């Protein structure tokens, strides 16, 4: 595959055609922050943590979904990028905004338990994948008391099965995958 030459923060970078910008940056030791990008998995482009400036493009681009092209000039660190980065946590922001609006409208009561509130805000799958979860939709489940002694045994059983899968299967296959 032909090589493509680009410039990242003034450094010349050569990488095979088809390389993603985030990988090309890594190749010269420039780490672009990312949340939802995992090599070899389908591209998300959801968190927008990896925004960079590409010359001649009007808006900031996500390095994890942009394929390098010949002569591309990229900036990974600028005031414009730093201003835009907080939007990278937009799922946090929008989830908080939806909560405040719901409380203001009287749709839900104020959550006075800081642990439950933190759990609602930090639920990781929704951070990277969306959609925004309205507090009104999950409030009752978060308040339900599901602790039963029979669940302890089930939890231990799941833990042991998971540990066995990790140690016996995953660890054995890991060298093949690497």
| Contacting residues toward ligand FES, per CB under 6 A | 34-37, 44-50, 62, 64
Nearest approach in angstroms of CB 137 to ligand FES is: 25
| 24 or 49: CB nearest ligand FES | 49
List, in sequence order, the alpha helices (H) in 78-170.
79-84, 90-105, 114-122, 124-129, 135-143, 149-164
d(CA 116, CA 112): 8
Nearest approach in angstroms of CB 152 to ligand FES is: 38
| 66 or 95: CB nearest ligand FES | 66
Nearest approach in angstroms of CB 93 to ligand FES is: 15
Nearest approach in angstroms of CB 63 to ligand FES is: 6
| 7 or 34: CB nearest ligand FES | 34
User: Helices 114-122 and 90-105 meet at what angle, rounded to 10?
Assistant: 130
Task: Report the chain's terminal Cα–Cα distance, integer Å.
Answer: 23
Nearest approach in angstroms of CB 84 to ligand FES is: 12
Residue 69 in tokens: 């092209």
| 122 or 156: CB nearest ligand FES | 122
| 37 or 135: CB nearest ligand FES | 37
What are the distances in angstroms from CA 33 to CA 3, 62, 128, 158?
25, 10, 14, 34
Q: Are strands 73-75 and 51-54 parallel, antiparallel or unpaired?
A: antiparallel
């Amino acid at each position: 595959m032909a090589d493509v030459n680009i410039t990242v923060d003034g450094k010349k970078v050569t990488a095979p055609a088809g390389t993603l910008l985030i990988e090309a940056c890594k190749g010269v030791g420039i780490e672009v922050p990312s949340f939802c990008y995992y090599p070899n998995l389908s591209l998300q482009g959801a968190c927008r943590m990896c925004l960079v400036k590409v010359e001649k493009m009007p808006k900031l681009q996500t390095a994890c979904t942009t394929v390098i092209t010949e002569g591309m000039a990229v900036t990974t660190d600028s005031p414009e990028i730093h201003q835009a980065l907080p939007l990278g946590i937009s799922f946090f922001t929008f989830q908080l905004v939806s909560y405040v609006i719901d409380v203001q409208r009287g749709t839900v009561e104020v959550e006075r338990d800081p642990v439950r509130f933190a759990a609602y805000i930090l639920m990781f799958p929704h951070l990277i994948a969306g959609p925004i979860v309205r507090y009104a939709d999950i409030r009752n489940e978060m308040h339900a008391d599901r602790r039963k002694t029979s669940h302890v045994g089930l939890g231990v059983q799941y833990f042991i099965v998971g540990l066995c899968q990790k140690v016996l299967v995953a660890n054995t296959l890991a060298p093949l995958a690497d």
